[in-house]
């Protein structure tokens, strides 16, 4: 529920709009703001079937070179703007998915474009950051990543993408765990069997340790992270995996506030299973740590309570295992907080927080304890790229100056209320409206999901899918109640069409 304080703060900023649900008065974005290019708000304009003839033609061409099974649309990025994606056929779509949630300020944001224009040298001279960084790199990290650092985490390292972020976070976890076991980071004796055995992929140098992950979790598609990914069988099928434990993730009923008691029971069951698994694995492949998303995204936008995560963190602490929070999808303001785990009120922060997507660079924050001392342990030739941090610095400036955290919270509240209204009107189509900030999903049961998404796209609104039966919104941080009105209107039209 949106707090009164949030409403008041927002009003102080001189922005308001009329919320059709809670009567919170507003003319937000409709008046002075709308006229500004960067708050562009307009109805989508669809001229062809989608995918249109151009996308179909180009897909055919592309398919000669590579698999195109997941290809949705070819785009015209030059013409796209903020919340609006222009596709290859000239259709103007309200984009609520934003390149799988990777563009924090939408398309061609003037501040971001300007920075890109000024950065030709940075782009042309991509460095091996870990070895030969530019002189302004420490300041750049300080002004970008550290400004967004989760409370309690002082260290950060960049990587190219979310998978690499998690792969390296897992390695850091193992280093930390083994350092505790042996009392030193690496064996002082250069003839220690650990050094020779690891070169042959054998214990003790390659220890039989594990990472506990959760049913429905998604942490990447590289082979290491894939042993912790459990969202879709097709992601994993035929790839050798580590025999690592998989705990149940709570299957909660929505809205959460209506099912407090049942949900608490389900969470208690899952927490007990986590403790059991840690115990069971102790003698075969001890659990060095666990990895979890604050909201399981790819797996279906599955939520758990703040209390669940607090207890999970405590289980990790109690068992002296690491706690990795994967915020690749939930991070960077979309939930209305910089990090989704900010909601939990943890006593001890996560040991590691991984990021990518809207952070523009992959990487992870980690606590002092998790810092490794020896070189070459966590490194990569490129390790991401400075230009990403230069753009991130600008994104953070816009987020702060435009108060986008608060806007995400308020707009999210507005969308949730709207969707819940529609859920009542179309119970045969929509259920389980859930979300935090702009990170919102709904269940579309009975095999109607594909049709729903396609029909909505035909009306000019692009949304994503997740899990087996859900649709997800991942709009840019510039999404306002005015855009939400368009979204809600088109969802309603689509639902009516599907009923008739």
Asked whether position 143 contacts a copy of itself by CB under 8 A, the answer is no
Tell me, residue by residue from 147 to 166, as one string, x for binding to a copy of itself by CB under 8 A and - for no binding: -------xxxx--xxxxx--
Q: List the Cα angle 430/433/438 in 5-degree steps.
A: 125
Residue 450: CB minimum distance to a copy of itself, A: 14
Asked whether position 117 contacts a copy of itself by CB under 8 A, the answer is yes
Q: To which residue do tokens 């088109």 refer?
A: 490
Footprint of a copy of itself on 386-405 (CB under 8 A): 387, 391
* 326 is annotated as an active-site residue: yes
Single out the residue of 243, 475, 223, 219 nearest to residue 364, CA to CA: 219
- Quick one: CA torsion of 453, 459, 460, 466, rounded to 10 degrees? -10
Asked whether position 131 contacts a copy of itself by CB under 8 A, the answer is yes
Asked whether position 207 contacts a copy of itself by CB under 8 A, the answer is yes
C-alpha–C-alpha distance, residues 293 and 219, integer Å: 8
Residue 178: CB minimum distance to a copy of itself, A: 4
DSSP state of 461: E
* 214 is annotated as an active-site residue: no
Residue 22: CB minimum distance to a copy of itself, A: 34
Asked whether position 14 contacts a copy of itself by CB under 8 A, the answer is no
Q: Which stretch binds a copy of itself (CB under 8 A): 1-9, 134-142, 313-321, 342-350?
A: 134-142
**Chain CA centroid to CA 51, Å:** 26
Q: Which stretch binds a copy of itself (CB under 8 A): 17-25, 274-282, 373-381, 433-441?
A: 373-381
* 381 is annotated as an active-site residue: yes
C-alpha–C-alpha distance, residues 468 and 472, integer Å: 12
Q: Judge contact between 123 and 131, C-beta under 8 A.
A: no
Footprint of a copy of itself on 333-372 (CB under 8 A): 356-357, 360, 371-372
Asked whether position 1 contacts a copy of itself by CB under 8 A, the answer is no
Footprint of a copy of itself on 55-94 (CB under 8 A): 58, 61-62, 64-67, 69-78, 80, 85, 88
Q: Among residues 215 and 307, whose Cβ is nearest to a copy of itself?
A: 215
Q: Judge contact between 430 and 499, C-beta under 8 A.
A: no
Asked whether position 458 contacts a copy of itself by CB under 8 A, the answer is no
3-class secondary-structure state, position 468: coil
The kind and range of the H/E element at 405 are helix 404-425
Beta bridge partners of 473: 440
DSSP state of 71: -
Footprint of a copy of itself on 238-257 (CB under 8 A): 238-244, 246
End-to-end CA distance of the chain: 34
Alpha carbons within 13 A on the beta-carbon side of 199: 5
Q: Which of the following is catalytic: 24, 218, 364, 452?
A: 218
- Residues acting as catalytic residues: 218, 326, 357, 381
């Amino acid at each position: 529920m949106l707090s009164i304080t949030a409403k008041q703060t927002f009003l102080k900023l001189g922005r308001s709009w009329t919320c059709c649900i809670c009567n919170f008065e507003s003319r937000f974005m409709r008046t002075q703001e709308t006229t500004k290019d960067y708050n562009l708000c307009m109805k989508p304009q669809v001229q062809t079937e989608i995918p249109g003839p151009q996308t179909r033609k180009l897909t055919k061409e592309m398919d000669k070179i590579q698999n195109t099974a997941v290809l949705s649309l070819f785009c015209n990025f030059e013409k796209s703007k903020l919340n609006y994606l222009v596709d290859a056929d000239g259709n103007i779509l309200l984009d609520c998915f934003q390149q799988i949630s990777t563009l924090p300020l939408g398309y061609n944001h003037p501040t971001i474009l300007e920075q890109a224009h000024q950065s030709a040298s940075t782009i042309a001279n991509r460095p091996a950051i870990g070895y030969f960084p530019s002189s302004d790199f420490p300041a750049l990290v300080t002004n970008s990543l550290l400004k967004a650092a989760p409370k309690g985490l002082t260290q950060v390292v960049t990587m190219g993408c979310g998978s690499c972020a998690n792969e390296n976070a897992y390695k850091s976890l193992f280093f930390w765990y083994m350092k505790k076991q042996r009392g030193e980071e690496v064996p002082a004796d250069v003839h220690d069997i650990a050094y020779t055995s690891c070169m042959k992929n054998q214990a003790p140098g390659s220890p039989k340790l594990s990472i506990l992950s959760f049913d429905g979790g998604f942490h990447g598609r590289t082979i290491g992270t894939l042993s912790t990914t459990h969202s879709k069988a097709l992601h994993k099928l035929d790839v050798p995996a580590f025999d690592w434990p998989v705990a149940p993730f709570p299957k909660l009923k929505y809205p959460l506030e209506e099912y407090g008691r049942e949900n608490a029971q389900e969470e208690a069951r899952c927490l007990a299973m986590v403790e059991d698994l840690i115990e069971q694995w102790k003698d075969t492949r001890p659990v060095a740590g666990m990895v979890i998303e604050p909201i399981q995204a790819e797996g279906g936008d599955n939520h758990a309570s703040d209390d669940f995560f607090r207890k999970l963190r405590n289980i990790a602490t109690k068992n002296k295992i690491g706690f990795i929070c994967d915020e690749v999808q939930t991070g960077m303001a979309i939930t209305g907080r910089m990090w989704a785990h900010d909601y939990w009120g943890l006593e001890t922060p996560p040991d590691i927080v991984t990021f990518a997507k809207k952070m523009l660079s992959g990487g992870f924050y980690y606590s002092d304890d998790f810092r490794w001392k020896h070189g070459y342990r966590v490194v990569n030739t490129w390790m991401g790229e400075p230009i990403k941090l230069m753009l991130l610095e600008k994104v953070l400036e816009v987020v702060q100056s435009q108060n986008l955290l608060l806007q995400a919270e308020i707009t999210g509240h507005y969308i949730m209320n709207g969707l819940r209204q529609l859920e009542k009107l179309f119970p045969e189509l929509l259920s389980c409206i859930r979300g935090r900030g702009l990170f919102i999903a709904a269940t579309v049961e009975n095999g109607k999901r594909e049709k729903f998404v396609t029909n909505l796209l035909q009306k000019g609104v692009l949304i994503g899918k997740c899990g087996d039966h859900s649709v997800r919104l991942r709009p840019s941080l510039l999404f306002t109640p005015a855009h939400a009105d368009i979204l809600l209107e088109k969802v309603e039209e689509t639902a009516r069409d599907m009923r008739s």
